[in-house]
Structure 1
Amino acid sequence: MFAQTVQAHVPVAFAGPGAGVAPLTWGQKAIMQDMRETGWTHNVSGAHPVPPGVTVEQVAAEFAALMARHPALRMRLGEGDGGPCQVVSATGETVLDVVDVPDDADPADVATFAYDLGHARLLSHYDLYHDWSVKMAVIRHRGVLVHRVLTIDHLVVDGTATSLLLADLGLAGRPVRRVADPRTVQILDLGRREETPSLRRVSDRAVRHWAEHLRDIPPLTFGEPAAGGRRGHRYWHGRFSSPAAYLAVRAIAARTRTDTSRVLLAVIAVAIGRATGVSPLTAKLIVGNRFRPGFAEAIAPLSQNGVLRVDTADTTVDEVVARARRAAVSAGKYAYYDPAQLAEVSDRLDTERGYPARISCRINDRRVTTRQAADVGLHDDPVTAERIRRRADETFLVWDGPLDHLPEQVFITVEDQPETVYLQVIFDFGCFTEEQAERLLRGVEEVAVEAALDPAAPTRVVPGSAGG
């Protein structure tokens, strides 16, 4: 963007407790599997404004304190007897990158530059055998720090852990007051615990639950891919946003006495059924696993795939909400397991079934701040048809570009955006036509609005059809 920038590297020394060596955690194994299947970095990265008056020395001191406080941030990979392991260092040195942009640059362009740097680092591969898991940069304009770019490798954090670290740095958007939980598990202890008999039994139960769902699935959720694509590419990512669906989902949640996550799951499942004729829908649901003792504030990747099945045919949307709620509870209960053990069982079931099969639909509600806001005051804010109608014109769907590869046929993520149902989506256009993909996404709004205004609204899903 700028013809010239000047970059300096400020050394940041750190020291902290919790050093040692341990096996990889189940969450780390799951992330490494995702990295292999997708080729994506899965980094967490973003730019944040710097308050006036903050100096480079202050940011460096905050960086050092953050590294000292959290052993996970001092973790790198090593080689153990069975492959990669965790190695947490007691001391070390990293750098704070200080990037000076031209004085005559427009502040809006500087903000764009900071965003672009965060995005570039999002896509940059780490070598965690040598690199530290956290990278930090500050952008200086006219002698003043204006933006900070923070990037963290997904092998040490998930969405909740990232939010906790942002709160530590005062970047959470609002003050966060927390009382430290003495039970909070550190990343090395987690890896060791997961080798104990008690947690091996937890994995055994979870894998048995998975096996029940995997035993009779088709080769792929949405059928074999055909020749084709969109503008010469099979995999595309896009965005869908619907404030009208947000209001409708809140209305359904209030009526059915559940939360917006369960309603969104049900609405998405019905929209998939209408567009593709797939019912029941067997899908992977990303589960945070934070409800377990000592996990709520752990700095570690604890999210793993759960599995669920929801029948959407010949019933009402309200009934699907009830089914989705029950299925999601079970998925969450059995989403903590050793991925290597699940892979062994999956291979065995492929042999018994006579063909390889996998679930190729994944849904991820990764809202953190806006999920709570959506669920608060459901009964105090009645939704009317007029309110929904006024927001309907704000709906949009855009395709942002192609991807090289995707292990799923469809991946739907509910993003942390206020007062809208905001979906990041990836489709395999070898399995979906453009019309089907658009019908599915616009169907999320259609299903939600119909059900918000009519408790007896039917799903109108016809199994085996191509949608209508």
Structure 2
Amino acid sequence: MFDQTMPDQTVPDQSMSDQSMSDRITVPFSGPGAGTAPLSWGQKAILREVRDTGWTHNSSGAHEVPRGTTVEAVAAGVGAVMSRYPALRLRLGTDEAGNPCQVVFGSGEIDLEVVNLADDSHPADVGKFVHDLCYAWLVTPFDPYRQWSVRMAVVRHRDVTRYRVLTIGHLVADGAAVTRIVADLRAGGAARRRADPRTPGPLELGRAEQTPEAKRVSGRAMRHWEARLRAIPPQTFGALPTRPAGRRYRYGHLDSPATHLAVLAIAERTRTDTARVLLAVIATAIGRATGVHPLTTKVVVSNRFRPGLAGTVATLCQDSVLTVELDGTVDDVVARVRGASTAAWLQGYYDPDQLAELHARLDRDRGHPARVTCRINDRRAARPAAGVVLGTEVTAEGLRAKAEETAFVWGGELDTAVDQVFIAIEDRPGTVFLQGVFDLTCLTEGQAERVLRGVEEVAVAAALDPAAPARVSS
């Protein structure tokens, strides 16, 4: 499983490190697509995000390999994907004007770390070691000017290759691209198939986004942003009179199978996909807990629905923005989100430098910052389509039984974040798994918990009653 868990900036203690031996295999690679180009819009966006948050924004995870897999086979796999995908052979450089640019190399070498754990290590300790290694790599930044944005290890126990651990920087691959790379690694020999030459890589994206047509696309997106930024308050949720002691941001997660079942029922009734239903339910829960109504929030757009970009291995995710009225019934909110989110997704592809210029102009015009400080990110790879058929009736008894499995956990504290409220929908089967980061200078800890717990409350009520009110009061 690959994750972008909220980092607490501390590297876990790898307690088995003194019971392991590590070696490195140097893996050569070579492939097409070498060259230099301006940064793509997605690269600019993630570089700003890393700068503003201090987070690595790496994707890191592991999976068990089939029994009998050799270290040599794992090494061949990493060499194959490095050769196939120009994005993995990408580093940052500086152009003649002194501006950052992207450089794809035609060949090079990468190290595969081989970890041999002591034979007397308990299997549970092996799993913990792998988890801790994934997390340590998750919070360890890459130097994109001097390193490939890829780390890979193979973990062996009792002379058997057990796990492949992989970390990839968001500069070169977003979540959908990482999923594609992992699929190639799992497929073994299939990873050596030739890439479709019609699919643009990062260099082609960077060049295409300099064209007049792309600039018109970015201009339309700016008009969409400006229409929603002009009337917003300086910060979405204001500020508390006194700042709490300690670190400013708190993060936690909600694991709710009941919400999963309820959202499917709402999607079936309203003939709406689960992405829009979840967005409506989360927005309603935020409104209930904070009194903010209407709610203007950023949403993360993958941009892979655009022609020719579905299979691109690069980073294509960017923020867009929408405003939702939270009165009436929850079904009413779902209907509004359906239209507002479609417009937001269509206008989620733009030059981040233009958005920075728009922010600066509006700041001057308004006399205070024009910032949206709420963000919702649906990270799920597989999302049930609109009108999914459950095949079974959702009952109050069934939802109550599922609610017994709900888990809410506070994770820890952070020094920095971009948003006052950030909600991520993670990819977990059979449940809605939400991670939230909250600014405790504008929300109390109780309000933050009510945001996450409120998602289940809103969803379950709406699943059982089409007339369930949103019940948001300013």
TM-score range, shorter chain: over 0.9
Alpha-carbon shift at residue 144 of structure 1 (Å): 1.4
Q: Distance in 2 between matches of 1:375 and 1:52?
A: 39
Partner deviation per Cα, 1:175-207 (whole Å, 9 max, x = no partner):
99x997553111101100000111011001101
Q: Give 2:341's aligned residue.
A: 328
Q: Distance in 2 between matches of 1:427 and 1:300?
A: 29
Q: Distance in 2 between matches of 1:179 and 1:334?
A: 33
2:354 counterpart of 1:341: yes
Alpha-carbon shift at residue 27 of structure 1 (Å): 0.2
RMSD: 1.8
Alpha-carbon shift at residue 453 of structure 1 (Å): 1.0
Asked whether the equivalents of residues 250 and 375 of structure 1 are also in contact (C-alpha less than 8 Å), the reply is: no
Unaligned runs of 5+ in 1: 464-468
Say which of 174, 183, 186 aligns to 1:170: 186
Alpha-carbon shift at residue 233 of structure 1 (Å): 2.5
Partner deviation per Cα, 1:292-311 (whole Å, 9 max, x = no partner):
11110100000100100001
Equivalent position SS for 2:167: strand
2:426 counterpart of 1:415: yes
2:306 counterpart of 1:292: yes
2:106 counterpart of 1:93: no
- AA matched with 1:39: G
Partner deviation per Cα, 1:216-240 (whole Å, 9 max, x = no partner):
11110000244333x7332111110
Say which of 265, 279, 288 aligns to 2:293: 279
Asked whether the equivalents of residues 271 and 386 of structure 2 are also in contact (C-alpha less than 8 Å), the reply is: no
Alpha-carbon shift at residue 107 of structure 1 (Å): 1.2
Q: Give 2:43's aligned residue.
A: 28
Q: Distance in 2 between matches of 1:296 and 1:141?
A: 38
Q: Give 2:439's aligned residue.
A: 428
The structure-2 alpha-carbon separation of the partners of 1:210 and 1:171, relative to structure 1 and needing over 3 Å to count, comes to farther
Q: Distance in 2 between matches of 1:57 and 1:120?
A: 25
Q: Give 1:53's aligned residue.
A: 68
Asked whether the equivalents of residues 183 and 294 of structure 1 are also in contact (C-alpha less than 8 Å), the reply is: yes
Normalising by the residue count of structure 2, what TM-score does the alignment of the two structures yield? Answer: 0.93
Asked whether the equivalents of residues 239 and 443 of structure 2 are also in contact (C-alpha less than 8 Å), the reply is: no
Q: Give 1:243's aligned residue.
A: 257
Alpha-carbon shift at residue 380 of structure 1 (Å): 2.3
Q: Distance in 2 between matches of 1:289 and 1:225?
A: 36
Q: Distance in 2 between matches of 1:422 and 1:96?
A: 32
The structure-2 alpha-carbon separation of the partners of 1:302 and 1:111, relative to structure 1 and needing over 3 Å to count, comes to same
Asked whether the equivalents of residues 316 and 457 of structure 1 are also in contact (C-alpha less than 8 Å), the reply is: yes
Q: Distance in 2 between matches of 1:357 and 1:444?
A: 28
Asked whether the equivalents of residues 268 and 387 of structure 2 are also in contact (C-alpha less than 8 Å), the reply is: no
Equivalent position SS for 1:57: helix
Asked whether the equivalents of residues 240 and 423 of structure 1 are also in contact (C-alpha less than 8 Å), the reply is: yes
The structure-2 alpha-carbon separation of the partners of 1:179 and 1:421, relative to structure 1 and needing over 3 Å to count, comes to farther
Equivalent position SS for 1:346: helix
- AA matched with 1:450: A
Q: Give 1:110's aligned residue.
A: 126
Q: Give 2:472's aligned residue.
A: 461
Alpha-carbon shift at residue 439 of structure 1 (Å): 1.6
Q: Give 2:417's aligned residue.
A: 406
Unaligned runs of 5+ in 2: 1-14
Partner deviation per Cα, 1:15-37 (whole Å, 9 max, x = no partner):
00000000110000000000011
- AA matched with 1:251: A
Say which of 362, 365, 371 aligns to 1:352: 365
The structure-2 alpha-carbon separation of the partners of 1:353 and 1:393, relative to structure 1 and needing over 3 Å to count, comes to same
2:175 counterpart of 1:159: yes
2:92 counterpart of 1:77: yes
The structure-2 alpha-carbon separation of the partners of 1:56 and 1:180, relative to structure 1 and needing over 3 Å to count, comes to closer
Equivalent position SS for 1:169: helix
- AA matched with 1:93: E
Q: Distance in 1 between matches of 2:408 and 2:443?
A: 16
Q: Distance in 1 between matches of 2:57 and 2:147?
A: 16
Asked whether the equivalents of residues 98 and 138 of structure 1 are also in contact (C-alpha less than 8 Å), the reply is: yes
Q: Distance in 1 between matches of 2:233 and 2:448?
A: 21
Normalising by the residue count of structure 1, what TM-score does the alignment of the two structures yield? Answer: 0.94
Equivalent position SS for 1:51: coil
Q: Give 1:466's aligned residue.
A: none
Q: Distance in 1 between matches of 2:66 and 2:176?
A: 24
2:332 counterpart of 1:316: no
Q: Distance in 2 between matches of 1:280 and 1:67?
A: 47
Asked whether the equivalents of residues 174 and 316 of structure 2 are also in contact (C-alpha less than 8 Å), the reply is: yes
Asked whether the equivalents of residues 247 and 388 of structure 1 are also in contact (C-alpha less than 8 Å), the reply is: yes
Q: Distance in 1 between matches of 2:361 and 2:387?
A: 45
Partner deviation per Cα, 1:84-143 (whole Å, 9 max, x = no partner):
111001110111110111110011111110111111001111111110121110111111
**Mapping of 1:199-238 within 5 angstroms?**
199-229=214-244, 232-238=246-252
Q: Distance in 2 between matches of 1:426 and 1:381?
A: 35
Q: Distance in 1 between matches of 2:60 and 2:241?
A: 35
- AA matched with 1:155: L
Q: Distance in 1 between matches of 2:194 and 2:141?
A: 35
